[in-house]
Each structure stands twice: as structure tokens, then as C-alpha cells.
Chains A and B, each alone.
Chain A
Amino acid sequence: MSLLDIRGVSKHFGGIRAIEDISFSLKSSTIMSIIGPNGAGKTTLFNCLTGFIKPTKGTIVFAGTDISGFSADRVTRLGIARTFQNIRLFGGMTVIENVMVAQHATIRSNLFSIITRTGTFKETERSVRETAYEYLEFMGLESAAEHTAGSLPYGAQRRLEIARTLATGASLILLDEPTAGMNPLETDGMMQMIKNIREMGKTVIIIEHDMKFVMGISDRIVVLDHGVKIAEGMPKEIKNNPLVIEAYLGKEAH
């Protein structure tokens, strides 16, 4: 039983076919990488999956629900959360508040209980704070909990974004270039963290350019080029696929 089923998804912007007829499916608790040259349509596919844009054609079935055309916040509430290629934190809020916002959909406090500060409300707020702190610990950010998110160094901002997606309670996590701009040491740390996320029983899809990283972490790889899926398989298979080599390096001269 697959967690995510993408069937014939296309997105056209006017005459431009950003992605065309993409299909694949994904089992739970696996790590999948989506690779491809710049402009291959990887981020467009992410945007379709998370409801930020509506696919022109095709269906996306997540955990048995057809989510194609759902709004972004609804998709998140159903269990798909993402990070962004250009980090999008709530820069003026503290680190822990960022993670508390992410638990928005997991708690139910109504206006009445908020104003009268009922026991249930206080209990909920305490657990929100504790949960947020746990996710910060998981991503190694607990010492920065009360700092302003915008003041964090770059690598920590990326990790905070991931902590936030985890706190939404999502079962499918989409990471858009999680190691961009990181040094090799930080990249290794990130690899371990993503493996830990899989150990939590979550499913991860990563867009990444760092081939060493992709080959080291992925259970499955999908290769896009010019909006079309040109290959799918285990890292070993992808490494030796002539179509993939051609997309990255160009055709051999005859």
C-alpha cells in the first residue's frame, strides 16, 4: 500500500510545460530523492504536491485521499509538510514560537477557552511548548529556543525549518534542497538527521543537487529533465542509467 500516488500530473504555465505527465508512487517510511538539472520542474512538482499550485492535469492521492486542487493549509493538515528552497521562517518570532505555530492544526483552543484561560487551555499550551522543545532538541536547536529566528546562522535556519515541518505532525515531509549552502560537515549531520526522521516512521522526499548526499541517503530516486520523468529506481540503477548521464553531461559525440 503506497502512501503517495502521483498519476499523470502536468502543470502548464501558458505555453510552457513545467512538468508533463509525471507518475510515481511512494511507500511509507522511505526516503525518495528527486534530482534533475536546473529548470527540470522539481520545485513545481513540490508546489503541486503541497497545494501551492494546482496541477493542470492528473491526480495526487495521499493516504487514500485525492488531494489535487486542495489549498496549501488543507494539504498540511492532511499530513504533507514542506520546507522552502529559499528559507521562509517567521523571522521576527523566536525559534520556539516558530515551532509552536507549526502545531496550529494539531490543537483545538476556541476563543472562549483562550479568554477565560481554562485548565484545558493551559494544559494544551504547556504541551505545545514541550512538543516544540522536543522537536528543537531533535534538530539540535534547543539552546537557541529563545533567540529570534531571523538571527540564527544559515545552517540552523534550515534545521529550524525542518523542525517546523515535523511539528505539524505530517507523515510526509518534503525538503527542498536541505543542504544548499552547507559545508561537508553540516551536510553529513543533515544526512543523519534525515535518516532519524525516517526512523520516526515518516516518509521523506528530497530535492537535492549534491549527488554524494543523494546516493548515500535515498531508498529511491526519481530523475526529471525538462519536466518529464526520465528515470526511476534505486541509487545503483540511476548511477548507471545512460539517459540520466546524458541529461547531466550531454550526449556523447559520434
Chain B
Amino acid sequence: MTAVPRYFSRTLLRSSIISLWSAVLFLPFKGLQASLMLFGVLFLLILLLTLAGTWVSPRLTMAAAVRERMHRHLPADRRYLLLFLLPALGVPFIAQNYIIDVAVLAGIYIILALGLNVVVGYTGLLNLGFVAYYAIGAYSFALLNTRLGLGFWSAMPVAVVITTLAGFLFAVPALRLKGDYLALVTLGFGEIVRITLNNWDSFTNGPNGIGSISAPTFVGISLVTLSAYYYLVLFFVLVAIVVIGRVQRSRIGRAWIALREDEIAASAMGVPSTMYKLYAVSFGAFWAGIAGCLFAAKMRFISPESFTFMESVLILCMVILGGLGSIGGVIVGAVILVILPEILREVQMYRMLALGAGIVLLMIFRPQGLFGGRVVSSRH
């Protein structure tokens, strides 16, 4: 019988610490009164949620059994496709332009996050400069389009090849490092690319950016309307989900995950570690290249400002929030982190604060990410 009070006091302690920490965080911005209110609200909320959780969790196992059965009958990529495709197809019919606009952005970020997930989630290489590939993709596309007059469908493959090559070439020296050191070098690479774009006036037009990029066309029809563009992005999102899902459930994906789990054991199993890391980084850069092209063609204007370090952090947050290594999780993470700032537009100042607090709460309650867990390894 002593177990119940001890459990209760532990819950009390935990919720008070968390809410106190959040209140202190808000103190310099909102003053004492608001912080106290936040403390009270958070404290009650966490307490109630935890207690409700203990009541709900045995009932949740039943739902998990149903889900398990679904898992067995549908391979992962098809399951995500179904869950994702039905609502996604309908968006332009029911939503206003503003929402379609946000959805297009979400699609681009989903592709980016799925690409980064290959590098960080599967292969376990922390990359803090992923935005560099996004920028290279966008700029290659913009330059090919404005300088050489290449259309969307001819500029895109070239831009994507350039981005993939850039990913490969950069990875050759960087992969001599591991863990934190690798993360620092990738961070440096992100900055190098942005600063180069910013200062190479004669080639990239510097901080003024590149404008008047032409809109994509499809069999002669200009995809200038928002809904048409939405379907174009949706198409690439679907391709990314299918291709990445299939590669994950193959010899290549298994080798990546093995490298993440234990590099020495992986090489003892005959996996050439450097080659497969290069493979992962280039494959990730490939998707960043596609996202970059879509971004440039959508905005019709790009400048180095869109490719800052915060952008890398945001993409990484999407991957972590949803759950490292899970395609479904990464999609949800990207959608949440694109929509959340739109909802919080009125309290602009506190957006980053809310994001930070959210990630800390996530690390306390669900360190494997919202949808992480067993899905981390390659499923069949």
C-alpha cells in the first residue's frame, strides 16, 4: 500500500520542478505575476495528465494490440502513405490559400527532414549544417534557371546532382571525425556555404539574392497557381516517403542502422563503414537538393537569409521531435514545427522559447520522440 503515496509524491515533485523551471524561464519576459500563473497552470496540468496517464495506460495496451496487427499486415511505407495521402490530397479543395501555402512549406520541410533523418536517424551521424545542401540545391536551381534559362524539369536534375556531389565531396574529409567533432565541422560547413553565398556578389548576387526565378511548368501548363504547386510538392513528398522507406528496408538501410548501433561490429560483419557513411550523407543531400529546388521555384526569389544556422536547427528538431529513424514520426514532427509558428504568430517573441520548452519537455517525458520507440530499427 505504500507504493501509491510514494508514486503520488514523486509525481508531485516532478510536476513542481518542471513548472518551476518553466516559470523561471518566463520571468524576464512576462514579469512575476504571469510567471506565477504559468507555474500554477503548468503544475496542475502536468499533475492531471500524469494521473490520467496511469488510468489510461492499461487501456492503451489494447489499442497497441490493434496497431500491432495493422503493422503486421501493412509494410511501413504503405501505411504512412495511406495515413498521409487521404487528407493530403484534399487540402486544396477545402482550405484557403493561406493554409495551402503553409502546407506547401510543410511539404518542403518534410522532404528536408526525411533527408536529414537518413543521416542522423539511420546512420547516427549528427549533422548541424544540413541547411548547406538545401542552400546549394536552391542556388544551383536558381542560377541554372536565371542564367542559363533552363526550365524546372531540366534545371532540377542538374541542381540535385550538384547537391549530391557537394554532399559527397564535403563528407570525404569530414567523416574522418566522429560524434561531437563531426557535428561541429558540419556546423562550420553550413556557415561557410551561407557566407560564401552572401559575399560572392558577382556570382550569387550577394545579400540581394536572386529574383525572377520562373515558375515550373508541367506538359506546357504553368504551375503558377498555389494548388497546382501544392500537388507538385505532394508528388515529391510521396516519392521521398516511398524511396526512403524502401531503401531503409534493404541491405543498405540495414547497414546504415548497424553503423549507428555499433560501427566496429558493423565492419566486423563486412560492412564497409566509410563507404556507407558517404552513401548516407550523399543520399540525404539528394533530398535536400530536391527541397531546395522546390523552395526556389515556389518563392521565385532566394537570398542567403533563408539558409541560416537556425534553419538547420529547425530541421533537426523536426527529426528529433517525431522520433529519430521513424518516417511517420519525422513527417508529424515537420508538420507540427511548420504549423506551430503559424499558430503562435501573435506571440512572435516567444516562439523560440515555446519551441525550446517543448523540446525540453519532450526529453523529460518521451526521449525517443513522439513516435520513436520500437520503430527505430528497420521494420518488416
Contact = CB atoms under 8 A, between A and B. Distances in A.
Interface of A: 50, 52, 71-74, 76-77, 81-82, 84, 88-94, 97, 100-102, 104-105, 107, 109, 111, 114-115, 117, 121, 125, 128-129, 148, 164, 168
A146 to B, nearest CB: 9
Contact of B270 (A76, A97, A100): A76
A26 B310 CA distance: 59
Given A93-B258, A102-B269, A104-B270, A114 B252 contact: yes
B267 to A, nearest CB: 4
A104 B378 contact: no
A101 B269 CA distance: 7
Nearest to A78: B270
Interface string B249-288: 0111011011011101111111111000000000000000
Given A73-B267, A73-B272, A168-B269, A91 B261 contact: yes
Contact of A72 (B246, B257, B267): B267
B71 to A, nearest CB: 11
Interface residues of B, number: 28
Contacts of B13: none
5 contacts: A52-B268, A90-B261, A101-B254, A104-B255, A114-B250
B250 A104 contact: no
B376 interface: yes
B243 to A, nearest CB: 5
Nearest to A96: B380
A84 B262 CA distance: 12
A77 B271 CA distance: 9
Contact of A125 (B250, B258, B268, B376): B250
A73 B271 contact: yes
A168 B255 CA distance: 13
Given A90-B257, A97-B377, A115-B243, A76 B267 contact: yes
Given A88-B262, A90-B261, A90-B262, A114 B247 contact: yes
Interface string B139-176: 00000000000000000000000000000000000000
A93 B267 CA distance: 16
B261 to A, nearest CB: 4
Contacts of A77: 270
Contacts of B258: 90, 93, 101, 104
